[in-house]
Chains A and B, each alone.
Chain A
């Protein structure tokens, strides 16, 4: 059994695709570092190479177009266990057919890539829906969130365009990193914090770090949220369908 090890990066994965082609072999699985390959596995270490990965990526772009690239990149962001082999076989199918294959949905790998990318896209959209900013004492708008997939790269553009005149921070509390947008210079910067000034459980800023008017706006929002519900039509199951409970802990109107 042949197993490829790659470094877990997107470039590393593309390099693996290249090497499988170059070495004329088909691995049984492609694993990130620290994953266990099993007892009798014959392993090959893939060394990430910018040149090789670029060649693969350019080929994908040329044959498949932008949409194919998007599907594959989103699939990578899903980080679902074993997604690498679907990724590899999708690329191989694409190069064999030499035309876009994203519509060949009866092919198991194409379907899987399509479904994974849709999952990631949906999660990104949910972040646009359920992210809640709180104003800090210095005027910065701060929003923690805990997404299933690493979707920060997919949502910054939206907030950058929309909140161009305010300084904001979006923080992924699962992966422990965030981005900060500076409205003066129109720049987005990545950062990590070790000692957060907010409650990780509720996402709430500590009282002294909070803008004096913040509580007032939150109260208004909760008032509004409550008074919009029509009691005769109460349907909590429907509410949970649309707004899964895993988002509640950071929602101003839902957290305790």
Chain B
């Protein structure tokens, strides 16, 4: 009996465990860490300059051909909007890839405006969580999305540490993830700045190579230490983001999550991914071995052993 079952086992495990073949790829992808493409572009957001004119929102709406807004883009009453019992401010949605929110930090005589959009991470959690590979980090630094393969599992929305991706829930036939794509198709691919950067009247937004922007940001802090917070948000957060923020007020008072880890999100998952090939390789031999040991010299209708053994984790 044991010879037969060994052979059957091999056949069975090959058929059943088709995913075995894929495990090396998983590990290769997970190995090492990726610090972003060297020539990747980014945007430095200097919040000390922003006056909350919302032109970036209007430019984004036009460039990305998004649906008409619910209120005009020169309506500043939107800054007073809150959601979920006053706990949440506006956020990017399927109809708006970027929004500006107003904050009134303690001890500051004037409000601070914060533009939010996809931060275009160096090692995006959305990308690494996607099981159909709908996301791509381009050489230019943009994190773009291919709706034609999206199954709609929304794992990217779970994974994004910044709560950025929106989803067109209202669509029945072709609902897709809606998020800022850095104007990749129409602008950044051709070396032009994204629409929001171009329209910004106060040059809150500086477009450039990420590595240069970091230097510029440090220079601004150095030149004006009293004006700026010492850190650049996005320099290290979740492995570094393409969009970087300078602020005059503490970041945590402006809705930034300053508790996020420095390592890319995928690092948290690598431990599990690493066990996958081990399980695939070791379990068959281990459990077939158990089977052979447990059933050796025993008939099929063996009843006399009454100890429970089913806790075989």
Do the two chains belong together in a single complex? no
